[in-house]
Amino acid sequence: LDRDSALVSHIYDERNKAVKDLIAQVIKKAKKNKRKIGICGQAPSDFPDFAQFLVKCGIDSISLNPDSVIKTTLSILEMERKLKKKE
C-alpha cells in the first residue's frame, strides 16, 4: 500500500487492530526461529504508542525519522523500563 497516495492513504491506518495483530505474529515467528527483526516506516516516528507496541512485541530494531528520534527514543525507553519491572 502506498501510504503517500492520495487515492488510498485515507483508508490505511497502521494502528488498526488487524494490522497490529499481523505485525505481532511476524515478530513472534521471527523470535521463535531465533531471527532478528526490525521495522522501518513512518508509524513509529509519528505515533509513540505504536513504537511502544513494537517494543512490547519484542522488535529488535526500529528506524526513525531524524526529527522524531529523541521523542520516540524516550517513549521506547519508558516502555522498556515498564517491561523490566514486570520481569
Q: What is the pLDDT of residue 13?
A: 84
**The three three-digit cell numbers of residue 9, written as one number:** 492513504
pLDDT given for residue 61 in this prediction: 96
> Which residue has better confidence, 86 or 37?
37
Tell me the CA distances in angstroms from 1 to 21, 35, 59, 85, one per residue in order. Answer: 17, 26, 22, 38
pLDDT greater than 70 at residue 10: yes
pLDDT of 9 > 80? The answer is: no
Question: Residue 59 has what pLDDT?
Answer: 97
- Give the predicted TM-score (pTM) of the model: 0.86
Q: Which amino acid is at 3?
A: R
Q: Secondary structure of the chain in the HEC alphabet?
A: CCCCCCCCHHHCCCCCHHHHHHHHHHHHHHHHCCCCCEECCCHHHHCHHHHHHHHHHCCCEECCCHHHHHHHHHHHHHHHHHHHHHC
* pLDDT tens-digit map of 37-84: 999 988 999 999 999 999 999 999 999 999 999 999 999 999 999 999
The answer to whether the beta carbons of residues 38 and 63 sit under 8 Å apart is yes
pLDDT at 1 exceeding the cut of 70: no
d(CA 52, CA 84): 14
